[in-house]
Structure 1
Amino acid sequence: MKLKRRSKAIGDFSMASMTDVIFLLLIFFMVSSTLVVPSALRVLLPKSSQQTNARPVTRVTITPEGEYFVGVGNGEDRQVTFEEIDPFLQETLDQNPDMFVALYADEGVPYGEVVKVLNIAVENRYQMVLATRPLKE
């Protein structure tokens, strides 16, 4: 019995090149996802029905242990004392006059600690945003 060889029609194509493209995309996304650095500080934010769409330039974070951290843009947060917050914010304002500050305070932080940071913002007329998480999570 003689087998007939089928010639390739115009509509036939090899899936090998498509598979190569898919694997290359997979590798690209796996490598590029390691470049995204999430905030290393984990704080449980209080819930709120209102959320801001603005992206803060500067962050002040208060952990449940009462530690203060500051950061700018995509930079890494660094630990500071309470007295170092005001000079840090003033230095950042000098570099970026349109700056506004996001305050990330864990919901277990005493209200007085949050008010102390808010007082710094009021005294220096910084634009401050309180970071919260949505009611529906």
Structure 2
Amino acid sequence: MNIRNRLRTHPEVHTGALNDILFILLLFFLIVSTLANPNVIKVSNPKAKSDTKSKQTVVITVDKDQNLYLGQRKVGMDQLETELKTFLAKETDKPSVVINGDSTSHLGTAIKVMQVIKKLGATPVMAVDNSGAK
């Protein structure tokens, strides 16, 4: 008569609480990822075959209605030069300014912005989306 074999318990890991914790963590990360950058101006960039990488000092966005944004702040074309001077005065190296233009915006507005950037001694860089290039 072997009594010890009947009293032996089988080790089990109860995962009910673990599933609840994982579900809560998943919800937390989903909510945080949508709030990560709420102040971004949505534009659809033109497509290109090559990738342009540059150390960006400041980003100027031109949306489809020809509105200019310096960072997240809306500025007029007449205020752009004075506002941009304050950003570029802080830089020691040759600064570069990224122009993030909507693909439906007029090219003339982007060219005027480039002229202002070059007048201030910075390098203008046009942001393009190469994810859909063929």
Which stretch shows the higher mean deviation, 62-71 or 13-22? 13-22
**Equivalent pair of 2:54/2:96 in contact (CA under 8 Å):** no
Ranges in structure 1 where 5+ consecutive residues have no aligned partner: 72-76
Give the AA of the match of 1:107.
S
Q: Is 1:95 equivalent to 2:96 in the alignment?
A: no
State the TM-score, normalizing by the size of structure 2: 0.77
Give the AA of the match of 1:81.
G
- How is 1:17-56 mapped onto 2 (pairs within 5 angstroms)? 17-54=17-54, 56=56
Q: Of Structure 1 and Structure 2, which has the larger fraction of its residues in strand?
A: 1
What do you get for the CA RMSD once the two structures are aligned? 2.5
Cross-structure match for 2:108: 112
Does the C-alpha gap of structure 1 residues 27 and 108 become closer, same or farther in structure 2, counting only changes over 3 Å?
A: closer
Give the AA of the match of 2:21.
V
Q: Runs ≥4 in structure 1, deviation > 6 angstroms?
A: none
SS at the partner of 1:112? helix
Does the C-alpha gap of structure 1 residues 22 and 134 become closer, same or farther in structure 2, counting only changes over 3 Å?
A: same
SS at the partner of 1:20? helix
The count of aligned residue pairs is: 127
Residue 38 of structure 1, CA deviation: 4.3
Give the AA of the match of 1:56.
Q
Looking at structure 1, the residues matched to 55 and 104 of structure 2 have their Cα atoms a distance apart, in angstroms, of 24
State the TM-score, normalizing by the size of structure 1: 0.75
Cross-structure match for 2:3: none
**Equivalent pair of 2:61/2:100 in contact (CA under 8 Å):** yes
Ranges in structure 2 where 5+ consecutive residues have no aligned partner: 1-5
SS at the partner of 1:44? coil
The percent of aligned pairs where both chains have the same amino acid is 23
Give the AA of the match of 2:51.
Q
